[in-house]
Amino acid sequence: MKTFNILAAAAVLGLFGTAFSAQAYDGDWKRGRIYYRSVCTSCHVAMPVGAINPSTKTKAEWAAYLKADKHAKGKDTVKQYVSKAYRASIKSGNKAAEKFANVPDQELLDDLAAFLKKGAKDGDSPASCS
């Protein structure tokens, strides 16, 4: 019975997965928060730039920042740090990267955007990095 339930649940999730991917994906801010804190912040605090609180920018500023996709004054991109390739490269030492190893890039980027919007200076719940 237990096995059957698990299989049934997996089938239902599978169906939902398909249904969702057909529509626009709604960013999961909780997943975005985990990723931001575990991946983005863990690098920032190790660098001279230091922690970057989501509440240092407004919603509009974050939206423009993500759209421009110029990270570290244009040296690289934000997308690169959300990519599967980047997650794979750090997953041995980073739990969030390991946990979200197979999430499609665009979904994780939407999750991150949802968290930054919520955590922005003028967002629903201005957030720090930790």
Q: Which is nearer to ligand HEC, 3 or 130 (CB)?
A: 130
- By the 10 Å C-beta count (0-12 exposed, 13-18 middle, 19+ buried), 109 is classed as buried
Q: Which is nearer to ligand HEC, 81 or 100 (CB)?
A: 81
Binding residues vs ligand HEC (CB under 6 A)? 39-40, 43-44, 47, 49, 52, 65, 71-73, 78, 81-82, 112
Rounded to a whole number of angstroms, the minimum distance from the CB of residue 58 to ligand HEC is: 13
Return d(Cα 44, Cα 55) in angstroms, integer.
Answer: 15
Rounded to a whole number of angstroms, the minimum distance from the CB of residue 72 to ligand HEC is: 4
